[in-house]
Copies of this chain bind each other. A is one copy, B any other.
């Protein structure tokens, strides 16, 4: 039967002991979307410079947050990322911006939380930059897309 690795036998929250694991190359990709009004999407994409700067700000926020993950998620391990990349795709039809983050490191533990944190903070930064015109924006479908490395090996999300 499955059990939660972060809860010990007495029900206490616990950081997993990874001392005996060998360092391997780890990689994780996470995604998410920010839904907004069509007018808001036009405002951030209408002007080439403004568009660049809205997305650059969100991208840098995501990259910097990934490096702070272990300070945000209580039971996360410290690790030294070798790469973080954050990309945006404008989906005019659905009036949303899709965000994808990819994180890598060579370590004893995976980088799923780093990729997910990068997406979350990039999404919150988009919200912050547009909230004066569109308080109703919503951040949705933040999820792991794929991971590689470590004992559990490769995992890919099933596409519906």
Contacts and interface: CB of A to CB of B under 8 A. Distances in A.
Interface of A: 2-7, 10-19, 21, 25, 32, 39, 43-44, 47-50, 52-54, 56-57, 59-61, 63-65, 67-68, 70-85, 104-108, 112-113, 116-117, 120-121, 123-125, 127-133, 135-144, 147, 155, 157-158
Contact of A78 (B12, B15, B80, B127): B80
A107 B139 CA distance: 26
Given A53-B52, A74-B63, A4 B128 contact: no
Nearest to A138: B143
Given A59-B12, A104-B19, A121 B72 contact: yes
